[in-house]
Amino acid sequence: MKKAYLLLLALFLFSCSQPNRSSKEEAEIEGRIRKLISQMTLEEKLGQMSQFDPGQFRGDQDLKQAIKDGKVGSILNLVGAKRINELQKVAVEESRLGIPIIIGRDVIHGFRTIMPIPLGMAAAWNPELTEKAMAVAAKEAASEGVHWTFAPMIDISRDPRWGRIAESCGEDTYLASRLAVAMVKGFQGDDPSNVDRIAACAKHFVGYGAAEGGRDYNTAYIPETQLRNDYLPPFKAAKEAGVLTFMSGFNDLNGVPVSGNEFTLKTILRNEWGFNGMVVSDWASIYEMIAHGYAADPKEAAEKALRAGVDMEMTSNCYVSGVQQLLDEGKLNMQTIDRYVANILRVKFQLGLFEHPYTDETRAEKTILCPEHLEVAKEAASESFVLLQNNHQILPLSSNMKSVAVIGPLADAPHDQMGTWVFDGKKENTVTPLVALRQKLGEQRVNFAKGLAVSRTRTTEGFAEAIQAARKSDVALLFLGEESILSGEAHCLANLDLQGAQNDLLDAVAATGKPVVAVIMAGRPLTIGHVLEKADAVLYAWAPGTMGGPALAEMLLGETVPSGKTPVTFLKTVGEVPLYYNHKNTGRPADYSNWTYLDDIPVEAGQVSLGNTSHYLDAGFEPLFPFGFGLSYTSFAYSDLRLSTGSMPVDGSIDFSVTIENTGKYKGSEVVQLYIRDRVGSITRPVKELKGFKKISLEPGEKQQVTIRLNANDLAFFNGTNYVVEPGWFDVWVGPHSNEGLHAEFSIR
């Protein structure tokens, strides 16, 4: 075993001071916070610690009276500058202390201009574009009075059955961490008090993406080594980026619900990371600790959440009903309550709500759905598309074709195109592929037949029209996938095949003999082996948002070129779950030289170990598509991998340089990916880990040398006791995806 070298604890302890604030300004804010708290009654303190949905009140007057009495610190699910200003006026001008309320909203992947779902944006592998997209979302939401979004969701998600994988950045810790920083910066900017910015919220802290069986709200069992190495880093990256708030989740983590988990919320978030922002519970997740069997009643639920460090309770009333008795019983002290109130007030000061509580009611009209925002949405959609198959280079479509058939339940589904978890987007603002293709080609060159009413339709009554449309066209474009309601929170699936009669529709169209291009719109990676067999080309479009139609039309016609890469492993069958690229090796790793397939087994064979490797007899050991995979209309060649040094100290770095050449005939973008493997560790290490990437654009015939720097501390991991960088030998691959690349080796001394 290697000798472990401890990293300095300082690498893992960062302050959360806000950019652009001097020490004097921060001291002044802390002084104002202390003064306010000294004037507050317990009821007013608990008001600050409570977030409510307007529907929890009997009417408008009831809500306004509660605000006036200081019983409401935050409201969610409210939108509209005029309405919010009315309520803010009550808080600021009519309540005893004039503390503004903070308005929270699920602005997950856009406000009115809807971007691709987060999993789709992750497929773009473009943090700069992601930041730009979230800045658009923040600007539009802020123009309607929203101060705070419950995003980004940065749960590591390795089970596509889980509906909320759509909201995630996928399976990889490094990619999710890079995108977490981008989203926080997009929402908050350099100065969260700017009128165009809103507070971000890192959720769900922590382990929600590992819900057992892919069932929402379920239990997660994650050893501490895996928790710290895989699930916590994106949250730490968000904290270091200055995220103002965290959200505790619904799930039970190793026997303790995370909304009452002192280890994650107090030991790690507060003590180790030094986070001094606000923690809000998820919807009624404090009260739900009773159903978990972790608290006997609301009072005990409040006690455990407060001990763990949840500052604000979302929608339930455990704090309001239980805190006075907890104080009387000596189970809680006022200093704890004051500290949590201070965390909440600090965020309100950082957002500038005390100085500028009201929203200019004329801003929304000039901001929402403006041309610049729509262009960002189209760019984000275009870069999210992943070309999975392109037999005979059928794409891009020939300019000489006379007509195209546009077929399928997702070809003209403006609501479903927006994807899951959209509260403010409107389908009338969505441009579908059918509309965009008609605009590009003209009505006469587009033969449209829906084929199926929706993705779940099981009848074949629309097939005849679809077949007729295909027969009279040069190529059939099939828009398949899943409706938006089939992914997202509480929408988990045990079967990941195309729903309804979609595969039958594909078979019927393919039987015409016309070339078939399948465009899949979905909130998760589906099992699409049958689609690959029947379609000449497959383009995975996720749920592409408001401008998905124009982005798809441009790509199908060759005006843009695919550059997306899978942010999650695609499975052959749901029975392979969990299957992800950065798994452990096992003592008997599978490869093609020593595995047995189901049909190879003789009848009445003796009971033997059949190859002695870790694989499935019926599915093998490799995925349908690996993590990081994506084709282009052009091609790229990798050559001349060079290392600046073959060995570095534990505080050193290595530059990896590789030459990329565009060997095709289209200008295109490539995501150059760097993976490493730590060959021997004090605990077993993954077979590969993404540690760097760069997205570059090349003209046909152009070459570019790409350099990615790897610091020794990028190789740190938690070994069960400490974070360590261990000396030894490492493999490195630089290539187009996780299963392919130029190989070299280096050491840490």
User: What are the residue numbers of the active site?
Assistant: 282
Give the number of other CB atoms < 10 A from CB of residue 221.
12
Give the C-alpha separation, 157 to 525, whole Å: 12
CB-side neighbour CA atoms (13 Å) of 402: 6
Which residues, at least 6 apart from 538, have a Cβ–Cβ distance to it below 8 Å? 387, 388, 389, 517, 518, 520, 528, 531, 532
Give the C-alpha separation, 311 to 338, whole Å: 10
Residues 429, 369 contacting (CB under 8 angstroms): yes
Give the number of other CB atoms < 10 A from CB of residue 637.
11
19-32 in b/e form (b: 16+ CB < 10 A) is eebeeeeeeebeee
- Written as one string, the DSSP assignment of 571-614 is PSSGGG-S--TT----SS---TTS---GGGSPTT-----TTSSS
**Long-range contact pairs involving 297-300 (C-beta distance under 8 Å, separation at least 24):** 298/322, 299/325, 299/326
Residues 583, 536 contacting (CB under 8 angstroms): no
The DSSP letter of residue 144 is: T
H or E stretch covering 689? strand 689-698
C-alpha distances in Å from residue 613, one per residue of 12, 154, 576, 597, 621 = 39, 34, 15, 12, 9
Give the C-alpha separation, 242 to 448, whole Å: 49
Give the C-alpha separation, 635 to 622, whole Å: 24
Residues 206, 147 contacting (CB under 8 angstroms): no
Which one, of 678, 675, 685, 689, lies nearest residue 733 by Cα? 675
- For residue 352, the SS3 value is coil
Residues 266, 223 contacting (CB under 8 angstroms): no
Give the C-alpha separation, 324 to 273, whole Å: 31
H or E stretch covering 552? helix 548-556
Residues 668, 563 contacting (CB under 8 angstroms): yes
The pair of three-digit structure tokens given for residue 666, joined into one six-digit string: 């289209």
- For residue 716, the SS3 value is coil
Residues 553, 404 contacting (CB under 8 angstroms): no
The DSSP letter of residue 527 is: -
Which ranges in 488-534 belong to alpha helices (H)?
502-510, 529-534
Cα-based angle 672, 209, 240 (whole degrees, multiple of 5): 65
Measured between its terminal Cα atoms, the distance across the chain in Å is 14
Residues 367, 143 contacting (CB under 8 angstroms): yes
Residues 174, 691 contacting (CB under 8 angstroms): yes
Helix and strand element counts for the chain (H, E): 22, 27
Amino acid, res. 603? V
The pair of three-digit structure tokens given for residue 235, joined into one six-digit string: 């949250």
The pair of three-digit structure tokens given for residue 614, joined into one six-digit string: 């870790």
- Neighbour order of strands in the sheet with 653-662: 636-643, 653-662, 703-711
**Beta strand 728-737 pairing with 740-748:** antiparallel
